[in-house]
Amino acid sequence: MNDFPKDFLFGTATASYQIEGAVHEDGRCDSIWDTFSHTPGRVVDGDTGDIACDSYHRWRDDIKLLADLGVNSYRFSIAMPRVMPVENGPVNERGLDFYERVTDALLAEGIQPVVTLYHWDLPQYLGDKGGWLNRETAYRLGEYAGVVAARLGDRIHTYTTLNEPWCSSYLSYGATEHAPGLGLGPGAFPAVHHLNLAHGLMTQAVRAEVGERSECSVTCNLQLNRGDADAVHRLDLIANRVWLDPMLRGYYPDELFAITRGICDWSFIQDGDLEQIHQPIDVFGINYYNTGLLAMSDRPQFPQSTEASTAPGASDVDWLPTPGPHTEMGWNIDPDGLHDLLVRVHNDYPEIPLIVTENGMAVADTLETNPDGTKAVHDDLRIDYLRRHFEAAKRAMDEGVDLRGYFVWSLMDNFEWAFGYTKRFGIVYVDYETLERTPKDSYHWYRRLISDRRIPDAA
Ligand code: GCO
């Protein structure tokens, strides 16, 4: 008996700035992440994405790794700075050529491309005008989405508009952890709305090119929090329903306005915006890693440096330490949280099929050399993590959740944003001196899962 249906999408995920490098090649312009990573003190060890995994040159090797793994899909992102490097300038065909080559090579291996149109590398020229605080950014992203879809068309299985708008707004404008790192607290709410607007405009632009021949989607890192019920409810509004309701239902919840009264007047919402945002999509992507534990608090919390600062409006919520074990990121391991999150979203939005667009674990991996000179990474912790999360997803499916696929983050170790190269999420090890790739034990484990469509028993 197989655990997963025949057309279930098994994949791995990556993102342009995290793997490509080649930041000055073929006409690419700077992104806000180039600026941020080159600003001293922003990224651990001063790491940047200048070289990263050099996938811009080694993409054939990477596709070979995918083919050997046996995945039927691959989630990667397209860098707007390669496609539209000049403000109001012509489209950069060389940028599109690169992604077209990747797309066709994937298809030749029977691997469906699942494209993220925006995975945080906003062109710096848009950053200079306020980035996501500026409504115009949403329109530029819409145009860009249309340009990509016009070139790649229905060769792309699924177009995903945004990756984790929570990070692109709260973590980037509310807090200081991600580019541009402005630390504005509740000043991040305009970015939230403009990202929602961009999602709607991008979806319409893609549809105008490919109609129903490709699927349209968006990916959010929805939160599954535990603890005090009031606190959990507040964070649900701020971190989950702030995306789900406008995108899938065409409104912001009244309660969201109520709990943010006094810190945001939402006057940046213009007439007609919600109709623009509320576009039919085919599948909703969820990135899941861990859970939170919350309590109500009577301390005012702006600004401060814990996760709460990234959730304006949650100013009366405390994040408590979670019970272990934890990953190298300090994130708790809670597979039930994935099950509970999938069931919750399915119950509240039963019309929309779901996909796990990211799940994985940072481990302090060590590269070992076998007696015969070959190399190996024995990442049992990651295998255990993945096994338990696949089981949790499977349990949710057995209970009726329409889950269409699962993408492991990540195909290979890469630039982990503010953590630089210090955190390894890959199922393939990258030696950053030589850029050599070595499949880890988890890669081999995942290959077995895919070929059997069944979760291998615990060792
Ligand atoms: C995100 C991004 C990825 C990360 C991954 C691990 O979720 O932050 O989509 O780019 O690398 O999640 O933190």
Q: How many Å apart are CA 166 and CA 192, to the nearest integer?
A: 7
**Pocket of ligand 1 contains residue 14 by CB under 6 Å:** no
Coarse DSSP helix, strand, coil percentages of the chain, rounded to the nearest 5 percent: 40, 15, 40
pLDDT score at 301: 52
| Cβ neighbours of residue 235 closer than 8 Å, sequence gap 6 or more | 223, 225, 292, 294, 311, 314, 317
**Pocket of ligand 1 contains residue 301 by CB under 6 Å:** no
**pLDDT grade, residue 79 (50/70/90)?**
very high
**Which of 16, 169, 358 for mutating ligand 1's site (highest number of atoms within 8 Å of CB)?**
358
Pick the catalytic residue from 20, 209, 215, 358.
358
Q: How many Å apart are CA 356 and CA 369, to the nearest integer?
A: 34
Statement: residue 17 has pLDDT above 80:
yes
The residues with which 320 forms a beta bridge, in sequence order, are 293
Please indicate whether residue 358 is annotated as part of the active site: yes
- Alpha carbon nearest to ligand 1 atom 13, residue: 416
Which atom of ligand 1 is the closest one to the Cα of 120? 10
Please indicate whether residue 87 is annotated as part of the active site: no
259 vs 156, residue with greater confidence: 156
Statement: residue 390 has pLDDT above 80:
yes
Residue 214 has phi, psi (to 5 degrees) of: -120, 160
Average pLDDT over residues 158-180: 96
Q: Which residue has the tokens 């906003």?
A: 122
Q: Tell me the per-residue pLDDT of 172-188, one tens digit each, with 9 for 90 and over.
A: 999 899 999 999 988 99
Is residue 221 part of an annotated ligand binding site?
A: no
- Note if the bond before 123 is cis, omega within 30 degrees: no
**Pocket of ligand 1 contains residue 121 by CB under 6 Å:** no
- Alpha carbon nearest to ligand 1 atom 1, residue: 164
Statement: residue 314 has pLDDT above 90:
no
| Cβ neighbours of residue 79 closer than 8 Å, sequence gap 6 or more | 16, 17, 20, 28, 31, 95, 121
Spacing of C-alpha 214 from chain mean position: 20
Coil, strand or helix: which one is 276?
Answer: helix
- Alpha carbon nearest to ligand 1 atom 4, residue: 416
Instruction: Give distance in angstroms: CA of 265 to centre of ligand 1.
Output: 31
Q: How many Å apart are CA 221 and CA 128, to the nearest integer?
A: 27
Dump the DSSP string for 10-75. Answer: EEEE--HHHH---TTSTTPPPBHHHHHHTSTTSSGGG--SSSTT-HHHHHHHHHHHHHHHT-SEEE
Q: Tell me the per-residue pLDDT of 342-358, one tens digit each, with 9 for 90 and over.
A: 999 999 999 999 999 99
* Percentage of residues in the chain having pLDDT higher than 90: 90
Coil, strand or helix: which one is 444?
Answer: helix
Instruction: Give distance in angstroms: CA of 270 to centre of ligand 1.
Output: 31
| Cβ neighbours of residue 78 closer than 8 Å, sequence gap 6 or more | 16, 99, 115, 116, 117, 148
Which atom of ligand 1 is the closest one to the Cα of 362? 6
Tokens read off for 41: 């003190």
Is residue 119 part of an annotated ligand binding site?
A: yes
Residue 137 has phi, psi (to 5 degrees) of: -55, -40
Which atom of ligand 1 is the closest one to the Cα of 289? 12
Q: Tell me the per-residue pLDDT of 217-266, one tens digit each, with 9 for 90 and over.
A: 999 999 999 999 998 998 999 999 999 999 999 999 999 998 888 889 99
Is residue 270 part of an annotated ligand binding site?
A: no
Is residue 331 part of an annotated ligand binding site?
A: no
**pLDDT grade, residue 149 (50/70/90)?**
very high
**Pocket of ligand 1 contains residue 358 by CB under 6 Å:** yes
**Pocket of ligand 1 contains residue 76 by CB under 6 Å:** no
Average pLDDT over residues 396-401: 98
Whether ipTM tops 0.85, in short, is yes
In 346-390, which ranges are E strands? 354-359, 368-369, 375-376
Spacing of C-alpha 278 from chain mean position: 21
pLDDT score at 300: 55
**Which of 47, 162, 164 for mutating ligand 1's site (highest number of atoms within 8 Å of CB)?**
164
Q: Where are the alpha helices (DSSP H) in 211-357?
A: 229-235, 242-249, 254-259, 273-277, 335-348
260 vs 154, residue with greater confidence: 154
Statement: residue 302 has pLDDT above 60:
no
Average predicted confidence (pLDDT) for the chain: 95
The answer to which of 5-19, 106-120, 294-308, 377-391 has the lowest mean pLDDT is 294-308
Contact 97, 103 (CB under 8 A): no
In eight-state DSSP terms, residue 307 is: G
Average pLDDT over residues 70-77: 98
Give all domains of the chain, ordered by start, each with its CATH number.
9-452 (3.20.20.80)
Statement: residue 311 has pLDDT above 70:
no
